[in-house]
Amino acid sequence: MSSKVSVIVPVYNCEKLVNRSLEKLTNQTLKDIEIICVNDGSTDGSLEILEAWAKKDKRIKIVNQKNGGLSSARNTGIKNANSSYLMFCDADDEFDNEMCEIMVQAIEREKVDIVACGTEVEYDAHSEIAESDKNYYRIKFFGKNYINEAITLQTDVSVCDKLFKAEIVRKYKIAFPDKLNNEDYYFYNAYMSVAKTIFFVNRKLYTYIRHENSIMSENFDKQSYSPDHLLVVKELFNFYKKHGFLEKHIDFFWNQFSESYWFSYEHSARKFHGEIHKIAKDFIIKNIEKYQINNPKVKKKIFIILRNDLVHKIIRGVKVKMSRIYRKINIAYKQQDFINKNIEQLEQNVYDMSEKVNEVEGELDGN
């Protein structure tokens, strides 16, 4: 017999944190739930903890698999779900005790395709971005709404503060992208592109805990996988095209592409900048003629991306010249910082100049 909700919990080496999460889930006021814990090849004591919980609560279902990452674990959970609705909870986070009940009541009362609530963020790391988090996870709309581009863009992409219809996920074969980070971005946007209505619960029912070793924390530390943001939006392009969303919302997509490019670029180590730019440039050149941009502002964003390699050639040339000057006049080591700071300022000036050029060209084109 199926339950109302399947809560999917990916678990990988979370022995110190998973108890807290499972305690909240087993104490939900809505009892008609199944808790699918996907043990993603844990090497610590996580599996033993899950087994102990499963003995106490028959609603807990354990699925073991070789380590495949967060996307793989969540997809396994979806395949093993037997409920009308899907929810996701990371093993180191928490549901409010009423979360499942409030979300299910909302989706059934309002007859919508998706329900979203607010998120409370606790900090073990990166408390310096608390104000940014507060704005990002804030509920910006109220009640029932028809899904449009503004709502899609201004709602956080986390899948953990939402309730999804299993029938929509299965009908459109929506899954998390394998071996890519930024998986929530893909799943959320794919689902929103085929859903019609959404209801916003103006309460913070999910608690997200930022850890030093979390994926988002590594993004802020400029790790190598930040290019995934760009690769994921390329996957979205294929989903949009397959389901007829792309033709109606072409400017929306290119705007997404631009934002993903700059996020990837700005949050990656410098050695990956060339790779990121090549991925973007090749994609734009391949698709821009068939999927032409109508909005002038979006068009300018894409042309700035295309010119970004020219900007970097200028910057690299300046750096080479400065380096030669440095060697010739044998500047003392302590003055290197001064030169580096001036180079950084020059880089910014070149970027600003490039944007100005595009603005002038845009005005000329308009005339």
Considering the domain architecture, whether residues 51 and 114 belong to the same structural domain is answered as yes
The pair phi, psi for residue 111, each rounded to 5°, is: 55, 55
Give first-to-last CA distance, the chain, whole Å. Answer: 67
Q: How many domains does the chain have?
A: 2
CATH of the domain at 13: 3.90.550.10
Considering the domain architecture, whether residues 212 and 274 belong to the same structural domain is answered as no
The pLDDT of residue 355 is 56
Considering the domain architecture, whether residues 32 and 150 belong to the same structural domain is answered as yes
CB 210 within 8 A of CB 121: yes
The pLDDT of residue 218 is 47
CB 86 within 8 A of CB 5: yes
Kindly tell me the sign of the dihedral angle through the C-alpha atoms of 266, 267, 269, 275.
negative
Q: In 3-state terms, what secondary structure has residue 318?
A: helix
**Domain limit, last residue, from 196, 220, 244:** 220
Considering the domain architecture, whether residues 81 and 177 belong to the same structural domain is answered as yes
**Burial grade of 102 (CB within 10 A; 0-12, 13-18, 19 or more):** middle
Mean pLDDT by 10 residues, the chain (367 residues): 91 94 98 98 97 97 97 98 97 96 98 97 77 89 97 97 98 95 95 98 94 54 69 96 95 96 86 88 95 94 82 52 55 51 58 55 49
Considering the domain architecture, whether residues 52 and 173 belong to the same structural domain is answered as yes
Considering the domain architecture, whether residues 38 and 75 belong to the same structural domain is answered as yes
Considering the domain architecture, whether residues 245 and 209 belong to the same structural domain is answered as no
Name the residue range of residue 280's domain.
228-366
Considering the domain architecture, whether residues 138 and 210 belong to the same structural domain is answered as yes
pTM above 0.85, yes or no: no
**Domain limit, last residue, from 169, 194, 220:** 220
Q: What is the DSSP letter of 129?
A: G
Considering the domain architecture, whether residues 283 and 358 belong to the same structural domain is answered as yes
Rg (CA), the chain: 24
Considering the domain architecture, whether residues 36 and 183 belong to the same structural domain is answered as yes
Considering the domain architecture, whether residues 245 and 266 belong to the same structural domain is answered as yes
Considering the domain architecture, whether residues 40 and 185 belong to the same structural domain is answered as yes
Residue in 146, 161, 169 with CA at minimum distance from that of residue 90: 161
**Domain limit, last residue, from 189, 220, 251:** 220
Helix (H) or strand (E) holding 233: helix 228-242
